[in-house]
Chain A
Amino acid sequence: MTRITVTVDGVAHEEEVEPRLLLVHLLRDRLGKIGTPVGCDTSNCGACTIMMDGRSVKSCSVLAVQADGSELLTVEGLADGPTWHPMQRAFHEEHALQCGYCTPGMIMAALDLLKDDPDPSDEAIRHGLEGNLCRCTGYSNIVKAVRRGARAMSDQEVTT
């Protein structure tokens, strides 16, 4: 067992973990952060995407011990109390989800993209989300949602 400390959505945690524990399982099974789903066994789908020290990572492809000392942000840390984050609202308003399984990862990957490119073109959005698969929507509404979310964020001067 290895002792690690991580900050998740603003709250510090100290945990004893087996080295083989995946970060996504630490989040879901130990810390109750079930907003971050697991969609595959091959690191392809991106459903598990979170921010680690400010940049997107696939939390199924990081060991909890590798995250020791890191600041983590999951989709559950985005809303401000009952008020959704502008990107969450944009996904709702553009009907950018059907089953919703890919949505947490899509939102986190979109927020990562906006850090480099706050006003992305449709092509930049499609490239920025290339690591996130959606089996339902056909992506068009997701691209619209990211554009709408980006505009709302710059209007409200929200970063991440």
Chain B
Amino acid sequence: MIPASFDYVRASSVDEAVEVLADAGEEAKVLSGGQSLLPLLRLRLAYPSVLVDVGRLPELRGVRDEGGHVHIGATTTHDEIIRSPVVRAGCPLVALATATVADPAVRHRGTFGGSMAHADPAGDLPAVAVALDMEFVLRSTTGERVVTATDFFTDYLETALEPGEILTAVRVPKLGEGWGYHYEKFHRTAQAWAIVGVAAAVRVTVSESGARHVAEARVGLTNMGPTPLRATAVESAAVDAELPPVPHATANGSPSTARLPSANGSGPHDTLREAASLADGDTSPTADLHATPDYRRHLARVLTHRALTHAAATV
């Protein structure tokens, strides 16, 4: 369908964007890559009076290493994130999850900030945001404020963004040495949204005898409630879990997941499995075309175990 009429302003600076938004009131919408907003407009599920296009503002775009954290400008595209050496080195989990978002054409236009501001519970990046304790930088005509990821995502498609406010950047704290990462996404077709997804980061310690243990874990859940969730019970229970020996590296140097020991049966893996079995505690998954709440709970447990195991195997 053809969208309903709206006015369009291409902002030439962030200052201009927030001024236009302040004047336009609640019916105004920010336009970034348009990959979530345009489908909504085409289906006439949204009727904004004015779109304020921030998609081309150089001050909102790009990735920088700022020492303790990686700064990601709100309008940096998914494609730029996947290719960024700074993201791959400083926060690899962001690159891993972003590579599973949509398809190449959508990733050329869709942006990091747009995905966060849209706050779809099935979106892949919000779960990474809560797992890594990202900080969100919000700007309006009255100034700037910073909110944590858990405070940013307030409800289904709802965020801490007030009318007149734009998200300018997200800061991703670096975790440092010894961490492994994995994003495990369960979906029916390649470009589809997650039925459930799990973002995991695991710090592994290796003793002199070569035994490997979980020292610390971070787990974020996609689509297990109206907002992304942090599986804190899993994180505590996973500490000290014994890990299987390092899988043999393949010819190209990356660990072969095919060689990972089977997750079934007894053995050193069990503590990790027990930890993962707590993943659906404190969640409130919904029913839809793809899954019942019970099936989502089952997926959360299984996928959390996979995500932790694969993350640890990359260290």
Contact = CB atoms under 8 A, between A and B. Distances in A.
B39 interface: yes
A61 B106 contact: yes
B177 to A, nearest CB: 30
Contacts of A52: 108
A46 B35 CA distance: 13
A18 interface: yes
A130 B109 contact: no
A131 B189 CA distance: 10
Interface in B110-132: none
Interface in A18-69: 18-20, 22, 25, 41-44, 46, 49, 52, 55-58, 60-63, 65-66, 68
A60 B190 CA distance: 20
Contacts, number: 89
A20 B10 contact: no
Interface residues of B, number: 31
A44 B191 contact: yes
Contacts of A43: 35, 38-39, 42, 106
B79 interface: yes
B5 A46 contact: no
B104 A61 contact: no
A113 interface: yes
A2 interface: yes
Contacts of B55: 66
Contacts of A18: 5
Nearest to A18: B5
A126 to B, nearest CB: 8
Contacts of A63: 8, 31, 34, 38
Contacts of B53: 65-66
B187 to A, nearest CB: 11
B191 to A, nearest CB: 5
Contacts of B39: 41-43, 61
Given A42-B39, A62-B38, A127-B190, A20 B108 contact: no
B104 A65 contact: no
Interface residues of A, number: 33
A109 B105 contact: yes
A61 B2 contact: no
A19 B6 contact: yes
Nearest to A131: B103
Interface in A117-140: 126-128, 130-132
B42 A60 contact: yes
Contacts of A128: 104
Nearest to A44: B191
B261 interface: no
A49 B5 CA distance: 24
- List 4 A-B pairs, minimum CB-CB distance, nearest first: A131-B103, A19-B8, A130-B190, A56-B105
Interface of A: 2, 18-20, 22, 25, 41-44, 46, 49, 52, 55-58, 60-63, 65-66, 68, 109, 112-113, 126-128, 130-132
Interface of B: 1-8, 10, 31, 34-35, 38-39, 41-43, 51, 53, 55, 79, 102-106, 108-109, 189-191
Given A19-B51, A46-B105, 18 more contacts: A19-B5, A42-B39, A42-B43, A43-B38, A44-B191, A55-B79, A56-B104, A58-B105, A60-B38, A61-B35, A63-B34, A65-B8, A65-B10, A109-B105, A112-B104, A112-B105, A130-B104, A131-B104
